[in-house]
Amino acid sequence: MTPGKKIPIFVDGVVLNGPQTDVKAGEKFVEEACRLIMEEVVLKATDVNEKVCEWQPPEQLRQLLDLEMRDTGESQDKLLKLCQDVIHFSVKTNHPRFFNQLYAGLDYYSLAARIITEALNPSIYTYEVSPVFLLVEEAVLKKMIECVGWKEGDGIFNPGGSVSNMCAMNLARYRHCPDIKEKGLSGLPRLILFTSAECHYSMKKAASFLGIGTQNVYFVETDERGKMIPEELEKQIWRAREEGAVPFLVCATSGTTVLGAFDPLDEIAEVCERHGLWLHVDASWGGSALVSRKHRRLLHGIHRADSVAWNPHKMLMAGIQCSALLVKDKSGLLKECYSAKATYLFQQDKFYDVSYDTGDKSIQCSRRPDAFKFWMTWKAVGTSGLEERVNRAFALSRYLVDEIKKREGFKLLMEPEYTNVCFWYIPPSLREMAEGPEFWRKLSLVAPAIKEKMMKKGSLMLGYQPHRGKVNFFRQVVISPQVSREDMDFLLDEIDSLGRDM
């Protein structure tokens, strides 16, 4: 036997000596893949000369990509080519002319933080396995709670605003009916929650998922700007009581998805206090205005809420997903509601302070350290830098509104309250036509047709939708600080160019 060479150990025909993985090959692949990401994603992220998307229909894209998984592995070169194809055919959400969703742009500090967490692969349920990230989450939640205006509070990061809203709904129900955790739905009265007619669709999904039932979600009428009318809320509460049902929750919205409307929180809080109802504010989109001294007035009264959902991955560009549920209660209600006391994770006789094992406050077991990427950005630019981003987004939106008013063929839906700018493009063929049923029928076809053209060209991406009786219109949302005045001008020029001959 060669000196120093170990005797192979076999179990069930498998050699157990040494690692199975080819470490050197793996390291080289990671290095090459990182170089590819840097060149094809990061360096091109803000280049307006690059396409926003390389549109292909599903069947053709399936043929262009090698999606088949085989019995034997692929070569490193083949894998790198696959990585390049994935980047090439994916939508470049970091592009300055990606305006399609309520997230956009590239924050370099958040990206670096995400690379770190992907490499470390932590799960933040206990301090012993995730000491740094649990302390980071604690620090970020504390700062966000201060932004809301509470002296103290509790909270947890969740995988998206929809989950935060659902957790808040469940928490409100638990506060009202604590026996539900053990005894379930049987024997409960008919519970009713109230939310705006403009609320996010996650409210209906949460009511369905939690067994409350979508018929027990009472939608409160809004004004012409999409804001909940407090007097209508009061009427709906009395209606529910007259039906023999039990109201327990009001969900207000700060920054609706389409119009960007902010419900009057102070007046809604008054109603909730009179009736003893939990007030949750879905500030997933609009919560970031809290970091701006100039624009936080939009959320006036939010400190009176019992819980708040806020997504830094939207306006503050923390990277998907980064969503916090903030709770005013500091008595441990959040943990009481969600804890299962798994003894293999949350042992009470550990050698350190087990109050830092915060994972039992979540509906999840494995949980990503989403606060870290927001923390890294906040550390890098400071509160003043976050405020500057928000203020710049508002200013660019104001510029776009002014340009829309100047240009023939563009018509605002309404003056925006937030950075949601909603408008129609009216092609020359319709500009002399009376605004009757036929006009609106034809106009409804314009936005989808222009959207198709812009995506196939790859020049920009912009969302459109019909909404509450209004035919298809564009919704432009400004988020990224990489967006410039020139991009606003290009947006309008491109729409006019693509739609002029319709």
User: Over the stretch 184-208, which tens digit does the pLDDT of each residue have?
Assistant: 998 899 999 999 999 999 999 999 9
What 3-state class would DSSP assign to 340?
coil
**DSSP letters along 349-403, please?**
T-SS-GGG-GGGGSS-SS---HHHHHHHHHHHHHHHHHHHHHHHHHHHHHHHHHH
pLDDT digits (tens, 9 = 90+) for 353-404: 999 999 999 999 999 999 999 999 999 999 999 999 999 999 999 999 999 9
Task: Write down the residue that tokens 């950005």 correspond to.
Answer: 377
Backbone angles phi, psi at 423, to 5 degrees: -155, 160
- In tens digits, the chain (502 residues) has pLDDT values of 455 567 888 888 888 887 777 889 999 999 999 999 999 999 987 899 999 999 999 999 999 999 999 999 999 999 999 999 999 999 999 999 999 999 999 999 999 999 999 999 999 999 999 999 999 999 999 999 999 999 999 999 999 999 999 999 999 999 999 999 999 998 899 999 999 999 999 999 999 999 999 999 999 999 999 999 999 999 999 999 999 999 999 999 999 999 999 999 999 999 999 999 999 999 999 999 999 999 999 999 999 999 999 999 999 999 999 999 999 999 999 999 999 999 999 999 999 999 999 999 999 999 999 999 999 999 999 999 999 999 999 999 999 999 999 999 999 999 999 999 999 999 999 999 999 999 999 999 999 999 999 999 999 999 999 999 999 999 999 998 999 999 999 999 999 999 999 9
Q: What are phi and psi of 448, to 5 degrees?
A: -60, -35
* DSSP per position, 409-434: TEEESS--SSSEEEEEE--GGGTTS-
The reported pTM is 0.95
